[in-house]
Chain A
């Protein structure tokens, strides 16, 4: 009973996802007259998350909410906001979750520093390792060894 229910739920979910799969995204009627401003709008949109979709920007999504957000972005641009102002306006309304590129702050420190930290730690580890395991300084040959080599080379 509950299994069937879950299956049906999963089916509904996959239908929902698939329905949003045939993305149409930005519609011709949304496009701004000024191509430069439209380019800015597209640029901002590609960094804003569609809140009801899985991992899609509002620029890629055809969900109604994404369309609303696209219209808000364009409205703010027409009102004379710069890119940062538009972004903070949207964040102010929908929260930080809307940003596809997380802000650099205390709670995202670990996230942003991972690549640098891994490379730095790796290099440090290699440096330590190479210091610990360097070749012992070459020893001079003893008289005995010299004689052996001489004997070997003479035979050839």
Chain B
């Protein structure tokens, strides 16, 4: 019964989202304020209905209701409870329902947000959001219904793919979807502005918190996915350049560019058309990211199911939203008034460069992912575009981008001074050079690029710290003296300044982690109990091989003791092969021993009859920095979100009189 009500609630949400999409537009034509106000309750109603619907499906999964096809296909009575819950979105139908749930949640949030968005802009935004919700709910109801019943119900389900039975992957999709879907709001705002034919700093201010939220979650989602791939797929890589990973990287790159161009628009009323274009692009890439995976064009581990009718529907959705929005853009963008002029050397100039390199990186990933498909379609020639291609093209774009970061923060708006900026960045540049050269000297004969990366990472981290320090101290004549005064200024810095510094430092931390992988080592050997294998500064000894039982699997485990080069005990690590009888699948479970930010990574190979095993042992120096850095970046986004002007939306910040005026200029 609950299932049917859930299904019905989804149909109700379809109707409500149609109301949400149509009424504001109608109201704009007839000038009826009451009609326009209908959008808010419609958005809230659609969210409530989808939430109920999602709850019904979750209940079916939690109670293993095998009369529901979706539960049969993805659940099993012996499956641990947390994976029964995550199984709701571990499949195509359920993940689509989660997708629209987040979509409707964002719509409801825009409807009730108490910010200073003009009523017409809000109504138009809700209308666009309503249209997106309508189309996707229609997609679910017509092609991907999660509420299909089966009669008679079987006694047991088919279980969830064991690779997906993992905590990281239970949390990864919701985070990623909040990121993807969050950009739908920015998109809706952009389309609303195009319909209105008007865009200004108020628009940028209204959009910024949504962009920041989406970006922070997408950052976390991608990082979690990367960490999952690292420990679950068993060969120790942290980024595989899988088409699906590329698909999530593209909206991230475009979203990062968007985040920066909105800043320019808010502060200086410039880059309007470009910002609107980026907002459209980012969501288009999010759609592409979600659906290219499901359309079956790019097959990968992430492909849940490939179904031709869905493919056609998905293609129609992509054409409607991407094609439609670009057409609207081409038609209306020339009407948007350009504003704000600036010199090439200025904060704006640096942010434009940031956008240029991010756009180029995004285009490279885009072309690299789709080129083989196109080429095969047009000429029947088959080529592969793999990690080496991306390393050759992506890294040369990333290095200048990262070099600009501290400069951009230091330069003044409108017209900057490179010489003064360089002087202020002297500490960061010096530290980077010293660290880079010291590492190079210490590891002479090793990889050459890794010390460069370490230097670059140090430069970014120190540059961010220096930015806070110099803002707290003030520059030149207005330099603050006395610890108490400096403390007051430090505390008084806007949260967005702290957020920026944190996010940029996080990028530096990621770069440090990536660079350190240049010194990663790998050992490979067949071991009998008592024998050892070395990798980097650590030696692992095989103690024994034995069986171990889990809730819904049987595991053959290798127990290892890790010692350092001096023979001192460091820790133990276990790696195994898990056999899941319900799906007759074997999954390698790698063993991780964390030492500071570094890890020893053990992965079990073949298990030979006489108790010997094939063992792969990696030493991954500072590898955790890659994901910790991403967390720091997302934290920066969160801190920025708490900035006062995000909450009140006031056009000007009230400042205590004691603060020298150059702070306002530096901001």
Contact = CB atoms under 8 A, between A and B. Distances in A.
A57 B386 contact: yes
Interface residues of A, number: 53
A119 B586 contact: no
Given A18-B587, A21-B587, A55-B241, A98 B360 contact: no
B299 A27 contact: no
A111 B368 contact: yes
Secondary structure of the A contact surface, majority rule: helix
Nearest to B349: A126
B388 interface: yes
Contacts of B585: 15, 18-19
A115 B396 contact: yes
B387 A100 contact: yes
Interface stretch (B108-116, B231-239, B431-439): B231-239
Interface string A108-145: 10111011001100110010001001110000000000
B552 interface: no
A100 B162 contact: no
Nearest to B384: A49
B243 A55 contact: yes
Contact of A97 (B241, B383, B525): B383
B524 A28 contact: yes
Nearest to B527: A28
A19 B303 CA distance: 15
A10 interface: yes
Interface stretch (B57-65, B374-382, B404-412): B374-382
Interface residues of B, number: 66
A55 B382 contact: no
A25 B616 CA distance: 10
A27 B606 CA distance: 9
B288 to A, nearest CB: 17
B301 interface: yes
B347 interface: no
A14 B161 contact: yes
A27 B614 contact: yes
A6 B307 CA distance: 7
A54 interface: yes
B305 A7 contact: yes
Contact of A115 (B235, B375, B393, B587): B393
B162 A7 contact: no
A27 B605 contact: yes
B356 interface: yes
B605 A110 contact: no
B363 interface: yes
B357 interface: yes
B586 A54 contact: no
B78 interface: no
B614 A28 contact: yes
A31 interface: yes
Contact of B235 (A25, A122, A123): A25
A78 interface: no
B547 interface: no
* B interface secondary structure, majority: mixed
B367 interface: yes
A40 interface: no
Given A115-B363, A135-B341, A110 B397 contact: no
Contacts of A118: 356, 359-360, 363-364
A65 interface: no
Contacts of B299: 13, 54
A64 interface: no
Contacts of B642: none
Contact of B375 (A57, A107, A114, A133): A107
B241, B243, B524, B586 pick with most chain A CB within 10 angstroms: B524
B587 A22 contact: yes
B304 interface: yes
Nearest to A118: B360
A13 B302 CA distance: 11
Contacts of B577: 22
Nearest to A101: B388
B300 interface: yes
A3 interface: yes
Contacts of B341: 133-135
Given A11-B158, A23-B233, A17 B367 contact: no
B367 A96 contact: no
B379 to A, nearest CB: 7
Contacts of B364: 114-115, 118
Contacts of A22: 234, 577, 586-588
A27 B368 CA distance: 31
Interface string B548-585: 00000000000000000000000000000100000111
B235 A23 contact: yes
Interface of A: 3, 6-7, 10-11, 13-15, 17-19, 21-29, 31, 46-47, 49, 54-57, 60, 95-102, 107-108, 110-112, 114-115, 118-119, 122-123, 126, 130, 133-135
29 contacts: A10-B303, A10-B305, A14-B304, A18-B162, A22-B234, A22-B577, A23-B235, A23-B588, A24-B603, A28-B525, A31-B524, A49-B384, A54-B299, A55-B386, A100-B385, A100-B386, A100-B388, A101-B389, A102-B384, A108-B375, A110-B367, A112-B393, A114-B364, A114-B367, A115-B361, A115-B363, A118-B359, A119-B356, A119-B397
Given A13-B303, A114-B368, 9 more contacts: A19-B586, A22-B588, A24-B605, A24-B606, A47-B388, A108-B371, A108-B375, A108-B383, A122-B356
